[in-house]
Chains A and B, each alone.
Chain A
Amino acid sequence: MSLTGARLAGPLRRLRIGLRPRMNVPQALPSIPVPGARVAPPHIASSLLRLALALAVGYSALATGLMYWQVVEAQRLTSDPLNPLVISAARQAPRGSIYDRSGVVLARNLSSGGAERLREYPYVVAAPVVGYRSSVFGTAGLERTYDAQLTGLVSLRPGDELLRKFRDQPYNPSDLYLSLDIELQEAAAAALGDQHGAAVAIEPGTGRVLALVSSPTFNPNRIVARQGGRRYMNTLRERDDSPLLNRATQGLYVPGSVFKIVTAIAGLGSGAISPQTTYENQPHEYQTGFLVEGFRVRDFPRRVQRDHPLDFYEATEVSSNIWFAHAGLDVGAENLVSWAQRLGFGDRIPFELPTSPSQVTNGDGPLAGFRDRVELANAAYGQAEALVTPLQMALVAGTIANDGLLMHPKLVDELRASDGSVSRLAPQAWLQVLPAGQAGVIGDAMQLAVEGRYGREFAGAAKVPGVPTAGKSGTAELGGDAAPHSWFIGYAPADAPQIAIAVIVEGGGAGAQRAVPMGGQLMSRYLDSIR
């Protein structure tokens, strides 16, 4: 029966055409191993498994990348001002305003209609702090730092982020309340006038910034204006005097004698010097100059008693380069650098505005960064390669004023969101740079520098009438014919400081000429206002 069936199947098979599947008969037998035959290459299935594994690794990498961008980096990217979300959010909810400590408005939206809301800046002097927000040029200053909060993209309440999607009004802009005192700011700007320079005033106990002025500055209203903004910006960018540069936080200057405070901190803190330290050769060196490896350190002729070796207080009062050169050599290169670092030197100071790092030396020399002892000696009294920002020097003054405790500088006190939630940014201690006792010694020396018999010749104009005042003047030599920078750092009242200040007038001549009286004026004004 089966044979019959087979015979029928044969012809039938030949009849199968059309859509009937044709059976493909492979000619060779490559993959199926024949028992006893030569060894065939391994079956494809096993190689496929390995390939599948490789593919799995690849796709896992993709999944990891996805998780990285959508979870890990999500917050940072969402706050980036170039993110279209930020741009479109800005159009939906009114941007928050910025106020000074008394509630005076420093930045607000113009009430005119239209798709684009313009920003208004009633106080041009606050420009270095507040910055601007322009749809063309982006953001700068605090408008940039707190852009996410001002737009309302970032919520103050934790956990709000996740729920934001589900709310009707997803954007919750905040207003900024600064520690800035606009009156002090205006006074500082007026005092600087057309001169190039900067001034930074802080509250030593809290680190809150009271004034931060840079001159020359710019007019943010003209930048954000609908007409002429571009042209104005180009002008600003092309000017030699860099009005867009915030000299207070990013201007680097030769410090001159105000740096001696840093040397003092390093000296007392490391124990290399004591308040009673004297250098016996010093009166002689006053005549001949202090010879350091071929270089002569000189004190400038002054109507001061120089017939006995000075101790720390006297050296500070008369601002003796020779004494501090000795002290610097005693302190040593490493100590000077490391103690300066404790004050914030060497790195960008963490702050709500961009800062430049101050330096004691360029750092490429063999003597802990110094080229040689000559450079070390010169740096100790504020020349050589030392470069500082006014903000940094204000912090130095603030540290002494605050019994050796350095506070983080901050501009923003509070954020108030439109839904009523409030976020207070508390003052933060940074570092106890040196013990209160030693800070007190330096503070006394600084008080002598302003009020002492010899000191008041240099920094007497800084004294606030009726208030014990401490400070240090500085005349930063630039070499050649250039007029030196005029510096002053100080604080008042010396017994219970309320304000610490740093002032620099570029090319202002001797410290006593410009910076010192300005410092005194500002401190006096501020103390009057808070009484």
Chain B
Amino acid sequence: MLALHRVGIRPRMRWRELVLLLVVAIALTTGWASLQSFRSSQLEVGDAWLLATYLGALATIHLGFVITGRRMDQILFPAAALLGGLSVLIMHRLPQDLAVQSIAGRVLELGPLQLLWVLLGFGVMAATAILVRSDGWLRRYKYTWAALGIVLLLLVFLFGEVTGGARLTLTIGPISGQPSELLKVILVVFLAGYLAENRWLLATSSTSVGPFKLPPLPYLLPMLAMWGLALAIVIVQRDLGAALLYFLVFLSLLYVATRRASYVVLGLLLFVGGGAVLYQLFPHVQDRINVWINPFVDPQGSGYQIIRALYAYGRGGILGTGLGAGLPQVGAVPSIPAIHTDFIFAALAEEMGMLGALAILGLYVVIAERGFRIAATAADDFRALLATGLTLVVVVQAAIICGGNLRVVPLTGITLPLISYGGSSLLVNGAVIGLLLALSDRAVEPPPPGARAGVARRLGQRVRRAGGKFEEAIS
């Protein structure tokens, strides 16, 4: 144990996480059983290799966390695991021909394909959580990150293709992905670093424009430039959801760093003004907003998708139709277009009912709470801002797409984090959760007392820790 300790490995029980993961496992198994039973008309769990593989992966990751002894937040991973599990379940339920890819010679359909992406995403999460030990590489090279982001953006602009509406894909050789997902993380890293460094000046001094206090120009300009560039390209590429996300995250981080409400007000005014201008100039913006206001004007055309989703909610009711029993198909076409990407929330709301959908929203709230807590107890500003930004990027994105599904806000083409089908989204969100976990690690302890402490005492301390309960793990 002493030798391992030198290398930095110090097994530590994570009881809370274990209990939560057990609840997750039982819940997912029950859900799986309900789906299988419906399909085979008898009560059974059936051929559950998908589920078993997933649960096995969860167990492995948990074990990895335990063995490497990281003192990370114990609730984030189970919450993410539940979301991931729901994703695996619903993708197994949906018609399998919605996504087909051949990987390494084998042809995979929707269910196994999503499992693969979920496993990869969680793998990235685990690796990030365990291996990231310092934040210098994020903190020090903020302008490098910014430049990388711009390069990525330009690559998409020049070489990207639009697939399925407003989905932007960049294909390099056999690999294709959506850079806008990665871009949002890069943006957050840059903003966190920049705001942390310049927080004093941004918060205390300002230039006044009329009744509004603006941050001092030399500092605000590079930020606005980076953000404006990202937004412009994103809007021209019709990725309205990403633009909205970037904007809200930028405004939130600015507020958190400076606590100047006037910045927020100004930002919102800019948003409304900018939105009005965009509405006048761009027909695709007009379409989105008009369909949002009244989709029944063109029920077979632009309003078709959202109307189908509204039907789905009605069919679900409070309890839902049960997994597998909803989503009536007319012909071979699923009842909602893009059901496995844009409208996965509606599908879940129909089959799991209002109670189930509220629970899914609740999971994102849990992630928000954990993320904000990590930010509030962070050692310094950069980590606090980084944690805030990472949390927002997941939670605000979820809110935007669920809002679009529910017709609370206009529909946008972004994914539901950890649930929607899509490799890029899962990988990036996995990295985000992993980074949050790394940030929450409090493994750095003051060095143990010197030679005064006897061997026996040290052993005793270790035994106590190894057999520790909740209180030990959470302090």
Contact = CB atoms under 8 A, between A and B. Distances in A.
A and B touch in the complex (CB under 8 A): yes
Interface of A: 1-2, 4-6, 8-9, 18-24, 26, 28, 30-31, 39-42, 44-48, 50-52, 54-56, 58-59, 61-63, 65-67, 69-71, 73-78, 80, 82-85, 87-89, 165
A52 B354 CA distance: 24
A41 B200 contact: yes
- A-B pairs with the 6 shortest C-beta distances? A5-B450, A19-B8, A77-B314, A41-B203, A69-B313, A65-B406
Interface stretch (B72-80, B360-368, B459-467): B360-368
A249 to B, nearest CB: 23
B371 to A, nearest CB: 10
Contacts, number: 182
Interface residues on B, range: 35 or more
Contact of A20 (B7, B256, B308, B372): B7
Contacts of A82: 299, 307, 311
Interface in B440-462: 443-444, 447, 450-452
A26 B199 CA distance: 15
A528 B408 CA distance: 61
A9 B258 CA distance: 40
B380 A26 contact: yes
A352 B317 CA distance: 28
23 contacts: A1-B452, A2-B450, A5-B451, A6-B450, A18-B7, A31-B199, A41-B203, A41-B204, A46-B259, A47-B255, A48-B376, A52-B369, A58-B403, A66-B361, A69-B310, A70-B353, A75-B314, A77-B310, A77-B311, A77-B313, A84-B329, A85-B328, A165-B317
Given A62-B406, A74-B313, A19 B372 contact: no
Contacts of B443: 21
Nearest to B201: A41
Contact of B315 (A21, A66, A78): A78
A48 B380 contact: no
Interface string B368-381: 11001001101111
Interface string B415-457: 0000000000000000000000000000110010011100000
A18 B5 CA distance: 12
Contact of A41 (B133, B258, B330, B335): B258
Contacts of B396: 55
Which of B7, B328, B335 has the most A CB atoms < 10 Å from its CB? B328
Nearest to A77: B314
Contacts of A19: 7-9, 133
Interface in B187-229: 196-197, 199-200, 203-204
B313 to A, nearest CB: 4
B304 to A, nearest CB: 9
A387 to B, nearest CB: 28
Instruction: Report which residue of A6, A59, A61 has the largest number of chain B beta carbons within 10 angstroms of its beta carbon.
Output: A59
A40 B203 CA distance: 9
A26 to B, nearest CB: 5
Given A23-B444, A61-B403, 20 more contacts: A1-B450, A8-B450, A18-B8, A19-B8, A20-B6, A22-B134, A41-B203, A41-B257, A41-B259, A44-B376, A44-B388, A47-B259, A56-B365, A59-B365, A70-B313, A70-B314, A83-B311, A88-B330, A165-B319, A165-B321
Interface of B: 6-9, 133-136, 196-197, 199-200, 203-204, 252, 255-259, 299, 307-308, 310-311, 313-319, 321-322, 328-330, 335, 349, 353-354, 357-358, 361, 364-365, 368-369, 372, 375-376, 378-381, 384-385, 388, 395-396, 399, 402-403, 406-408, 443-444, 447, 450-452
| Interface SS majority for chain A | helix
A256 B1 CA distance: 106
A62 B408 contact: yes
Contact of B316 (A2, A70, A84): A70
A24 B383 CA distance: 11
Contacts of A4: 450-451
Contacts of B369: 52
B313 A62 contact: no
Given A44-B376, A85-B328, A69 B256 contact: no
Contacts of B380: 26, 30-31
Q: Provide the main secondary structure of the chain B interface.
A: helix
Contacts of B203: 41
Contact of A84 (B311, B379, B452): B311
Contacts of A42: 259
Given A24-B134, A82-B307, A70 B349 contact: yes
Contacts of B200: 30, 40-41
Contact of A44 (B317, B385, B408, B452): B385
A74 B317 contact: yes
Contact of B357 (A5, A66, A84): A66
Contact of A59 (B313, B329, B354, B361): B361
A261 to B, nearest CB: 40
A65 B411 CA distance: 14
A56 to B, nearest CB: 8
Contacts of B395: 55
B315 A85 contact: yes
A62 B315 contact: no
Contact of A66 (B368, B376, B406): B406
Contacts of A5: 450-452
B311 A85 contact: yes
Nearest to B353: A70
A87 B357 CA distance: 25
Contacts of A28: 197
Contacts of B361: 59, 62-63, 66
Contacts of A66: 313, 349, 354, 357-358, 361, 406
A26 B8 CA distance: 22
Nearest to B364: A59
Contacts of B318: 70-71
Contact of B199 (A21, A30, A52, A88): A30
B136 A48 contact: no
Nearest to A15: B6
B385 A88 contact: no
Contacts of B7: 18-20
A233 B262 CA distance: 62
A291 B472 CA distance: 103
Contacts of B252: 51, 54
Contacts of B444: 21, 23
B376 A9 contact: no
Contact of A55 (B321, B329, B353, B368): B368
B375 A48 contact: yes
Contacts of B9: 19
B378 to A, nearest CB: 8
Nearest to B357: A66
A371 B423 CA distance: 69
Contact of B403 (A24, A46, A65): A65
Given A5-B451, A61-B403, A77-B314, A44 B8 contact: no
B256 A47 contact: yes
Nearest to B453: A5
Nearest to B325: A165
A28 B379 CA distance: 12
A70 to B, nearest CB: 4
B201 to A, nearest CB: 10
